[in-house]
């Protein structure tokens, strides 16, 4: 019974992915200039490496306080590193309107805890007494302590999952469908 439910869920999930992929293709056909620009930039390449780079770029940009410029930054990063832009865009939604407040609070707290002892005297030495500048500095500094490891972990995890998926696809269908049961041991 459980196997049937899992298979049903897998079929529904793959149908949803196919539908979204079809919608994206229709949108790109309707906007040939955008499609040509993204293709020239290498942002629509689909391989294990480009998707992993795209996930890393999306996590990095999504976990930094760059709300107004996230898409522009992702296009630049995807162009520079030849990463997959749709994967970056999907991964950047880790920071959405519901999670933005707690994330920004955590970024500021981490930035102030780690950089506060070092940057406090530096701010006073250069004459920065503005509370706004300190807050922005701690926010961006704290976000880097989260964004860089998350991007690295996202890259490695995506590479591993994609590698396992490719290895499973190479197996014959009979091997994939038969459960692995060890033969009875003789005594």
22 within a domain of the structure (yes/no): no
Lowest mean per-residue pLDDT among 43-52, 83-92, 100-109, 126-135: 126-135
The count of structural domains within the chain is 1
28 within a domain of the structure (yes/no): no
Which residue from 158, 63, 145, 71 is spatially nearest to 102, judged by alpha carbons? 63
- Greater pLDDT, 141 or 41: 141
- Greater pLDDT, 85 or 149: 149
SS (H, E, C) the chain: CHHHHHHHHHHHHHHHHHHHHHHHHHHHHHCHHHHHHHHHHCCCCCCHHHHHHHHHHHHHHHCCCCHHHHHHHHHHHHHHHCCCHHHHHHHHHHCCCCCHHHHHHHHHHHHHHHHHHHHHHHHHHHCCCCHHHHHHHHHHHHHHHHHHHHHHHHHHHHHHHHHHHHHHHHCCHHHHHCCCCCCCCCC
Both tokens of 107, joined, read 């970024």
23 within a domain of the structure (yes/no): no
Distance in angstroms (rounded) separating the CA atoms of residues 4 and 32 = 42
Question: Residue 144 has what pLDDT?
Answer: 93
The residue assigned the tokens 């033969």 is 183
Lowest mean per-residue pLDDT among 6-15, 41-50, 78-87: 6-15
182 within a domain of the structure (yes/no): no
Distance in angstroms (rounded) separating the CA atoms of residues 2 and 78 = 40
Report the alpha-carbon angle 47-53-54, nearest 5. 90
Question: Residue 138 has what pLDDT?
Answer: 87
What value does the mean pLDDT take over residues 168-177?
Answer: 68
Q: Which domain holds residue 61?
A: 46-173
Distance in angstroms (rounded) separating the CA atoms of residues 117 and 141 = 13
Q: What's the pTM value of the predicted model, to 2 decimals?
A: 0.70
Of 51-65, 97-111, 127-141, highest mean pLDDT: 51-65
Distance in angstroms (rounded) separating the CA atoms of residues 21 and 15 = 10
Report pLDDT digits (tens) over 128-162.
667 777 888 889 989 999 999 999 999 999 999 98
Q: Residue 114: is its pLDDT beyond 70? A: yes
Q: Residue 86: is its pLDDT beyond 80? A: yes
Q: Residue 80: is its pLDDT beyond 60? A: yes
Both tokens of 72, joined, read 């522009």
90 within a domain of the structure (yes/no): yes
6 within a domain of the structure (yes/no): no
Question: Residue 96 has what pLDDT?
Answer: 80
186 within a domain of the structure (yes/no): no
Report pLDDT digits (tens) over 3-21.
555 666 666 666 666 676 7
149 within a domain of the structure (yes/no): yes
Whether 117 contacts 123, CB under 8 Å: no
Q: Residue 87: is its pLDDT beyond 80? A: yes
């Amino acid at each position: 019974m459980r196997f049937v439910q899992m298979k049903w869920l897998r079929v529904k999930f793959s149908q949803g992915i196919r539908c979204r992929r079809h919608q994206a293709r229709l949108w790109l056909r309707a906007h040939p200039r955008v499609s040509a620009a993204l293709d020239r930039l290498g942002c629509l390449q689909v391989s294990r490496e480009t998707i992993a780079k795209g996930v890393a770029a999306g996590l990095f940009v999504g976990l930094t306080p760059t709300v107004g410029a996230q898409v522009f930054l992702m296009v630049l990063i995807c162009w520079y590193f030849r990463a997959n832009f749709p994967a970056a865009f999907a991964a950047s939604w880790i920071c959405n309107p519901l999670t933005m407040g707690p994330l920004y609070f955590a970024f500021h707290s981490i930035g102030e805890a780690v950089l506060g002892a070092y940057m406090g005297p530096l701010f006073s030495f250069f004459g920065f007494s503005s509370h706004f500048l300190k807050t922005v500095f701690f926010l961006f500094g704290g976000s880097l302590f989260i964004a860089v490891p998350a991007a690295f972990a996202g890259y490695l995890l995506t590479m591993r999952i994609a590698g396992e998926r490719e290895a499973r696809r190479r197996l014959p269908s009979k091997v994939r469908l038969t459960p692995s049961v060890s033969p009875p041991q003789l005594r």
